[in-house]
Amino acid sequence: MTDSPNETSAAISEREAGIEKFDAIVIGSGVTGLYSLYRMRQLGFSVRAFDDASGVGGTWYWNRYPGCRFDSESYSYGYSFSDELLQEWDWKEHYSSQPETERYLNYVADKFDLRRDIQFNSRVMSATFIEAESCWEIVLQDGSKARGQYLITSVGSFSAGYVPDFEGIDSFKGITSHTRGWPAEGIDLAGKRVGVIGTGASGVQLITEIAKEVAHLTVFQRTANYCAPLRNGLIDDETQKQIKASYPEIFRICKETPGSFMHEFDKRSAMDVSPEERLEQYERLWAEPGFKKWLSNFHDVMVPGEANEDYAEFVRNKIRERVHDPVIAEMLVPKDHMFGSKRLPCESGYYEVYNQDNVLLVDVREAPIERITPKGVKTRDAEYELDVIVYATGFDAITGGLINLNITGQNGQTLKDKFAAGPRTYMGITSAGFPNLFTVNAASVGNFVRASEPLIDWVGETMGYLRDNDFKRIAPTIKAEDAWVKHVNEDGANILRTQANSWFVGANIPGKARALLTAPDTAPAMRAKRAEVTANGYEGFIVE
């Protein structure tokens, strides 16, 4: 979208008269979007956030399905930028539920008066770089526009829900919902025949919760997952005091660990200790809450090889112990991917659901879904009559939310075309030909809050550098981008996240190029890389 060479300056001024202008435009008001707003303000930049939701929260606004909650410790997930906030807010549970997390983000928005810079119910339809002005212009669904020198896409890694293109999907006469976009008023499932398609992290949480009230539950499973007990609990007053006194240590540990979680790997190899000692550690960790059984284990459990398979079989046996019917148990035991090659869903009674008489597990790899019918779901072997169908079918992760923004950079190039064979970025956060665009949703790894704060700090520091030195734009060189993509592809080929057909590599979306969607590096390594780039005068960037 460039100005016509035949257009007079008066015409241009008239056309632009109704366009609000800011130093920075933020898309999204979830965890990263709220901190982006806060940080931009602190640095003295004018800023406006746009969100298609009617309130703040991002992921925690849209994912209101029953059972939705953290799988990392609540107190490791909250913001660290304000000591006052840390001491004021009391987390009720060790692993916070969606309603509490949404309340927390609303509390943050109110405490720091962030809403005055957020425009809700405002879907961004396109974002185009205006070459002559060195700025971005966004167009909203109602046709209104805004411009900003910088564009920060805080749209979330899981903002684009995915529903398979089942034949007859619009013919079903009952109620349907994706887990993302669950109605705020809820769905009355009591006494109903419910079908859930998908058994990833969202499906596991949802299935466990709704099995308590439905008349009959049919679960359509394509891939069995390794799931581990969450072991959640309420936080008592004494523990609350200990947590608040321990925040500096909690954040220190998170800062030093690979995924920014509160857990550190055992430096020993699983294969270097005796089988008895190895089993003792497995059992001890299994009894612990949260990700400890994943991220505090022997370090080589998270590397393809003998240790990984040893622990995988331990987990498989734990699943078998909990399911009464051995045939159903084997259906629930993962056999087609390594432990840790997909994000580990944490559960609170998931496997016991399949011991209920009113729950049926359908293997859709064995008998694929052929179509959705007016009455329910038709597989190759049978038709299942339902009152409600829930699609727990995941997300077009990382890049899906970006592509949906219809971003156009220099020379008419779209981000959709550029990313057709996989993400092409420098450090996940910038892309050649798209000046002043910071794709922060594509650069976070692990614990998103712990990763996003330093990420937005770097963006703010970079913007401040440009402002203080009278520069207009920054974009990576093709050479730096090529080197980064090569690093992601080559080093990523050796890590667990690329070994399974998961969202980590886009394998859950038909037609999406298979490529690692995040960096293969640890969070500390990514921070060090950004710091090195800055220290070397923004090495790998063109600053104009």
Sequence ranges of the domains in the chain: 9-56+114-160+397-475
Q: For residue 189, what are the CA distances in angstroms to 170, 181, 375?
A: 21, 16, 17
365-404 confidence digits (pLDDT tens):
999 999 999 999 999 999 999 999 999 999 988 889 999 9
Residue 71: name the closest of 279, 291, 340, 244 by CA: 291
Segments in 408-469 forming alpha helices (H): 415-418, 448-468
Cα(407)–Cα(266) distance, integer angstroms: 43
In eight-state DSSP terms, residue 223 is S
Residue with tokens 């790997």: 265
- The SS3 of residue 154 is coil
Q: Where are the beta strands (DSSP E) in 104-230?
A: 118-119, 124-130, 135-140, 145-153, 175-178, 193-197, 216-221, 228-229
Q: Do 424 and 488 contact (CB within 8 A), yes or no?
A: no
> What is the per-residue pLDDT across 406-461, written as a single tens digit (0 to 9) for each?
999 999 999 999 999 999 999 999 999 999 999 987 676 667 788 889 999 999 99
How much is the pLDDT for 3? 44
DSSP notation for 65-80: -TT-B-SS-HHHHS--
User: Is the separation of the CB atoms in 410 and 454 below 8 Å?
Assistant: no
Strand residues in 368-484 grouped as ranges (E): 369-372, 376-379, 383-385, 388-391, 407-408, 437-438, 474-476
CATH topology of domain 9-56+114-160+397-475: FAD/NAD(P)-binding domain (3.50.50)
Residues forming beta bridges with residue 180, ordered by sequence position: none
Token couple for 213:
């009230």
Q: How many CA atoms lie within 13 A of 507 on its CB side?
A: 12
Which stretches of the chain drop beneath a pLDDT of 50? Answer: 1-8, 10-11, 14-15
What is the C-alpha to C-alpha distance for residues 221 and 333, in angstroms, rounded to an integer?
12
Using a 10 angstrom Cβ sphere, with 0-12 exposed, 13-18 middle and 19 or more buried, the burial of residue 431 is buried
pLDDT score for 4:
42
148/129 Cα distance (integer angstroms): 10
Asked if residues 484 and 425 have their Cβ atoms less than 8 Å apart, the reply is yes
DSSP state letter for 358: T
* β-strands 541-543, 474-476 pairing: antiparallel
d(CA 136, CA 1): 10
> 3-state DSSP call for residue 318?
helix
CB 108 within 8 A of CB 453: no
The three-class DSSP label of residue 521 is coil
Of 441, 418, 430, 440, nearest to 466 by C-alpha is 430
- How many H helices and E strands in the chain? 18, 20
* pLDDT tens-digit map of 235-294: 999 999 999 999 999 999 999 998 889 999 999 999 999 999 999 999 999 999 999 998
